[in-house]
Structure 1
Amino acid sequence: MTPWLAAVCGAATMSVAFIIAWGLARKWDNYSLVDAVWAFGICFTGIFWLAACGDGSVKLWLAGGLLAMWSLRLGSHLERRIRRAHPQEDARYTKLREVWSGRVPAAFFWFFQVQALSVVILALPFLFIAADRDRAWSPWESVGLAITLLGICGEALADAQMTRFKSGNPGEKEICQKGLWRYSRHPNYFFESVIWLGFYIYACGSAWGWTTIHAPAIIVFLLLKVTGIPPTEASAVRRKGDAYRRYQETTSSFIPWPPKRMG
């Protein structure tokens, strides 16, 4: 299959998949479902491209393996979190319901389609890897592989530490400051950005892979300015008040760093 045909098929499949996801989310009255579908969707799209355009080389197999490791772990983590919280919806989507009052289903339909488009755009590094005729291994793949694995391990550790903290039934105002959360208020977001940097560097070993710099840039922008830190911090301040404000004063918001001393 040619790369162009693979790209069109991948985009069409994601559009349909997110229409189905929207229908289920509307039926269950919980639009948080889109988060897990997004993570799984990037995996499906990237691996579809690698399989449709590739020849089964080690370079392609490892690219697909890295993508699957990231997607299946994150998607499963999100799915469990959504299922445990149901019927309570993520605060971001509760806020969107308020903004889109009177047209919630229709607005979320197009929101889900935008997520489908984002899946295709963010998976493009893997299309370039699949389309490259040179299957030779280079230092780009080695560095990208190492960085991606570091990011996956770091994100998994951060999520496990937070899950362990919450399973201990902490008080409403208590804040997780154990492990990585002592050095960053959002270590999971930091390592997510590391993963996407690794994907990009891996893609740089393929012709035109360097043009996919948009993928890690979009992820970092979203984490820092849109769907990541801003709504998470706002929600934490509402729920935890001064305790979280003190945490903000002493602890890095993104990059893990030794905490400041108070006073």
Structure 2
Amino acid sequence: MASLKEVKERIKSVSSTQQITKAMKMVAAAKLRRAQDRIIQLRPYSEKLAALLANVSSGNTEEGMNTYAQEREVNKVLIVPVTSDRGLCGAFNSNIVKACRNLINSNELAGKHIEVLPIGKKAFDSFKKREYPVINQFWGVFGDLTFDTVKEAAEYAMQAYADGTYDKVYLVYNEFKNVATQIVRTEQFLPIVELEREENTTTNIDYIYEPSKDFIVEELIPKSLKIQFYKAVLESNASEHGARMTAMGKATDNAAELLKELKLTYNRTRQAAITKEILEIVGGAEALAAQG
């Protein structure tokens, strides 16, 4: 049985850890509210824009009208994993790394040249240790999370695809559902995925472009792609705070349970020590009485 001093030190250590995890939970809850508001406000705009983008891209067959929707033979692939800069958020980061491995090892990408553009320090650190080439300019966007900082990474991926450097670009990120649930998404960012048409739909859709087709291609499509990229990063940011809040909440509860056990152990150890001292005193008294 551990000594009273050891148990007391353990209680002090666990209590200190519980205070830290409780504070981290409160900080994560405060950050989550702001991050959740941002993604909820962006989602309707992003979803409508994504549908419009897919319609415009699929409806254009003229040369030069679908630069970002051109299907090519896939030889080089860029994967963009979105993680956090910090840990202590459960399986949030490891789920993204696992999803990337599954994608790389899939039949679709077997034998292809893979490069990684990590967003978040954890993704950068993880893939830097592996054999895949890593583009390291953009992993620190969470230090100043704005549309302007994120769009630089999106522009890099878009320009590299347009130049033919990559034939496909994938986004791998956590979609925020609620505080306790984050859904890992693996989405094809480029080329633009056409909307699935219903089986009974055979009529071709005629589009009216204002002010012109050239304007739509040069302005709307690139901006729409950047918005989709930014949405993925915001989803991941909200998911991170939700995952950390849940993880720290569980850690705080586990610490409370451990404290109960330690305090019970302390009381039992203390009682055993007192009982032992009493027995020693009684035994000593009886020995003296026998001598007298």
TM-score (norm 2): 0.23
Q: Which structure would you say has the larger RCO, counting Cα contacts within 8 Å and 6 or more residues apart? A: 2
TM-score (norm 1): 0.24
Bigger proportion of residues as strand: 2
